Amino acid sequence: MRETQKRVSGKLYFFIALAIVAVSCVPARKYEDCRSSLVQYQADNFQLKTDQEQLLDQINSCEEQIRILSRDVEWLRRDTAQLNNSLKLEVQKNKQLNQTYELLLQKNKELLADNRYQTERISTELSRTQEQLIRKEDELKKLEADLHLLQQELQAKEQTLDVAEQELKRSTEEMQVSMKELEGSQEALAQAQKELEVQQKQLYELQRILKEKDSMVMALRTTVTNALLGFADQGLKVEERNGKVYVSMENKLLFASGSTAVGTGGRGALQELARVLEANPDINIMVEGHTDDQPLRGSGHMSDNWDLSVLRATAIVRILLASGNIEPSRITAAGRGEYLPVDPDSTPEARARNRRTEIILTPKLDELFRVIESN
């Protein structure tokens, strides 16, 4: 019986350990972690279901042990009742023997006066009765000891049953907590999946817009290159950098030294470019004027290279607006002075390359900004 108690206690402790290990939880994070979080949520969901099955198996085992203990307790109660009945019978028999003994003593006194033979026979009967009485008293003591032992075993079984019921109650509560955590994990997983789907849609939309923007930039570069092909040997260059189209014109095509008046060749190139920009209304235009590092000589309305670069940029803007139907809000004029050279050397050739005007063409990204803001 003690071995059975040890096995029941061992199983209950093992069941408690499994239930404690099963209790765990994690939260959703940024977009970059959504995919790994989804995998983790699914793994946690599977682990919680496995732990739940183990808990249910342990609960079934505990319930079976409780049924066995309850049956043993019932048997002990029946044995105790039987022993109580036997004890009552023995007490009654002992009482009867005492009464018989008293009667014999009385008869012995009466017969002593009449017959010695009767006295000896009665003495023998009395001795035999006394021996029976001693045996019955010994049996009664043994029954009392057995009853006491059974009562102790019954008490121990009842205590074990109480412990098992408490363990079952605690295990049931822990399983309910695990179930709630599982439900919370499933809700978090569903929410993470929804957020991931939304982010994936936004990512696809961004990729589509960027792809369209890259295609637009490549097509614009080809169109501008073809339109200005006749000016390639006059210091004009078209290239694509960082998703933008750069039309770079050296000053020998546009301006005389220190002047803001555009020459005939440069005006023709700008007119061709204006027709391309008029046909592409979704292109923003930045006109940047650049000078070399030589100080500006002379006086008048220009005091330094900053003024010269700005005035040259605005002169080109005016020619573009006059040569095509271009919305002025699309154009920005800026002067860089000598502070953004393409060649840092101080040779005449390097200074000639630095004296330039760059027209930077950028596709409008309103749709891209709309998607980003909605995210």
- Count CB-CB contacts under 10 A for residue 101: 15
Give the whole-angstrom CA distance, residue 155 versus residue 164: 14
> What pLDDT digit, counting tens, does each position of 103-143 carry?
888 887 776 677 677 778 878 888 888 888 888 888 888 88
Of 213, 170, 256, the closest CA to residue 362 belongs to 213
Residues in the chain, overall count: 375
Check if CATH label 3.30.420 holds for domain 2-202: no
Distance of CA 73 to the CA centre of its chain: 49
How does DSSP classify residue 85? H
Report the Cα–Cα distance between both ends of the chain, in Å, rounded.
Answer: 68
Give the whole-angstrom CA distance, residue 299 versus residue 305: 12
Place of tokens 């039987």: 82
State which H helix or E strand residue 237 sits in.
Answer: strand 236-241
- DSSP lists the bridge partners of residue 247 as 238, 359
- DSSP lists the bridge partners of residue 335 as 289
Q: Is the dihedral of CA 66, 71, 72, 76 positive or negative?
A: positive
Q: Is 156 exposed, middle or buried (0-12, 13-18, 19+ CB in 10 A)?
A: middle
Give the whole-angstrom CA distance, residue 277 versus residue 245: 12
Alpha helices, H only, the chain: 2-22, 31-112, 116-227, 251-254, 264-279, 305-323, 348-354, 366-374
Q: Which fold has domain 228-374?
A: 60s Ribosomal Protein L30; Chain: A; (3.30.1330)
Instruction: Give span(s): CATH 3.30.1330.60, the chain.
Output: 228-374
Give the whole-angstrom CA distance, residue 88 versus residue 101: 20
pLDDT at residue 18, as a whole number:
47
Instruction: Give span(s): CATH 1.10.287, the chain.
Output: 2-202
Tens digits of pLDDT across the chain (375 residues): 555 445 545 555 554 454 444 444 445 567 777 778 778 878 888 888 888 888 888 888 888 888 898 888 888 888 888 888 888 888 888 888 888 888 888 887 776 677 677 778 878 888 888 888 888 888 888 888 888 888 888 888 888 888 888 888 888 888 888 888 888 878 888 888 777 777 777 676 667 766 777 777 888 889 998 988 878 778 899 999 888 999 999 988 898 888 889 998 899 999 999 999 999 999 999 999 999 998 887 656 788 899 999 999 999 999 999 999 999 999 999 999 999 999 999 899 999 999 999 999 999 865 444 555 555
pLDDT at residue 369, as a whole number:
47
pLDDT at residue 144, as a whole number:
83
pLDDT at residue 332, as a whole number:
96
R_g (Cα) of the chain, nearest Å:
54
